Structure 1
Amino acid sequence: MTRDKNKKKPPAVQQEKLNPRELNTEENKHSNHPLLDTASAEIKKYLHDLIEEFKDVLLIQVRQDIKKLIKEMTSPAQENTDGRTEEIRKEREASEEEFKHNLEYMKQIQREYQETQNSIEYWQNALTETKDNLLKLEERFRAYERERKSLLKITRNQKEAILKLEDDKKIHNLRIKNVSEEAGTSKNEIQKIFTEILKQNFPRIAKRNDIQIKEAYRTPATYNQNRSTPRHIIIEIPEIHQKNRILKAARERMQVTYNGKSIKITADLSTQTLKSRREWGEIFQVLKEKNMQPKFIYPSKLSLKINEEIRYFQDKEELWEFVATNPTLQRALKDITEKERKRYQDYSYSGREASVNGADHGMRE
């Protein structure tokens, strides 16, 4: 080093060489000797200059050593930091990718939620519309039902009126069954037969001798040789109360005969009225067994006594409608066969269907 070449040599000290022990002894003895003071000052000055000279060199060397030490110490940390940074970068990229995926998924969920909301709103509107349509249909059905009942009532009334016209023509007539053809077929012969029947079965009525006969004939007018039973006899009596008195006496007697053979005396009713009465047969019998006093009101109405009240029914439909609301009748008619109920239900349904179709046609018109 240049500095080493230019090092100043320490000044020579003109002194005697002393033994250290002696020096120490001398120093102890002569501590304030002038030569020692001069040498000490020179040495201090030399050391000071030497320190100043090497100060910068030492500082540079120290700095270099510190940098080297720092580099050696920070190099592994740097490598670790770089590795961690790369790891963090990858984690960040993975997090960003996952975030994007979750964001897209959330957007998809949001779209599906919106679609679901729209679907719910659509079906709510459809349900509301359906309810409105059902209400309208119910109202139409009620209108049809009212119209059906009205039409059935009109039909029933018309049917009753027609039957009444037919039966009114026969309201004065008595019908006598099972009298042989050999007994007589002419009007006079038939009048004699009727008079004899009264004498044999109803002597009180015969004694009064007030029964007037307007017409007497067999029906049908022409005799069929293939017919297995004799034709019926029709007796027309102008006074209805006289006819009813004979019918009542016949019901009370239970068995009426002519010349020892059983015959039957009934009111002369139309074919439809007889059919209507026959349809009441099983129900009539059950009501009679239950002591409800069933009776036929001319021409084919059924009357019965229930809860001390007399009720009248034009047909079975009217009766079943009342039965549905009356527990007493429900118990009384519980033994009616399912066949009877089904026949009524089929009739009721077909009548309802026909009336509804007619009402629908009428409304369209």
Structure 2
Amino acid sequence: MRWWHDINIWVKRGGAALLTAALVGGGYLWLEQHSPEHRLSEACSGMLPVSDVLDMTGDDFELTSGTFDVSSEVTEPAGLATNCKIGSLWIDIETTAGAHSPYGTYTFQRRDDVLPVPLGSGWSGFIVAEDEDGGLDASVLLDCPNWPARKGSGILVTTQARYSTDRVGLARVATATAQRTAERTGCDATPGTRIDRVDPAPPPPDTSVAAEFPKGTCTGLTSHKAFRETAAATAPVEYCVLEGGLALQAEYGPFAGGRDGTYGGRSRPAGNARDMAWASARCRGALGTGMYWAETTGNADREPAKKLLDAAELKDLRRFARDSAARHGCSAPTAP
């Protein structure tokens, strides 16, 4: 067996060391390519902040990743839109123009449950704690001044963490993902700073108490004395819930576009109808149109009327819209 004789000669002349090095080196390469860090670095088109994601998930997880189209009217940059699932963590990254479903399954849309809390730290975003058993959602909207609407206007990151109560961790995942996406896609964004804390959510409806001097999104409103509010910041969705089941809501960018029609299904930029009162403003970049709504919540205790708001409540909606628009750098709202 001449071939076996040749191998023996090669091994005796130092081939064994070379063979061992090749096997060991190949093993390291295999391990590196299959490590949690390497797998995450390639998921979601390479847009993920690996260390922040690992802080949320640990290093033992199932991973799926893929891409999708946002709209036939948007030619998004390479790598967008993309989504991935890392264990119980879900991440969607898309452009703000043409976004599929920015609200997702957010529970605050019931308007009598939890409310969105602004992320702060210079970010246009919010977080929602779904229930006491754990479960968080967070969204970040990042304006890209060099992207026209046909290229997407901006970046929208939506995250969901089931069975988690780590609000700061999820806020960091969402914001760092947005920043990394901007860097990789050529978006000239101005990101916020790293998040160290997130404000607590307002109490649920059955524990809210009367107060005379609101300091957040309800600042300056006088038609009702009891309210639930969050900090006045620059979140793309804001709420001020007044007693009696009346909710004032501000929406920007893809969140304002979630309703059919130019003005949320209404033909006019402002109005005061039986079921809803609204105002609107023009905003820059990814913020698009600002919409300001007054609607009743699921636990509303109000008598039917030809118009939803009385004179004092209508004044409050105008104040709410004016202050929110000013914080977001929008035009003065067209008011009802």
Bigger strand fraction: 2
Bigger helix fraction: 1
Q: TM-score, normalised by structure 2?
A: 0.21
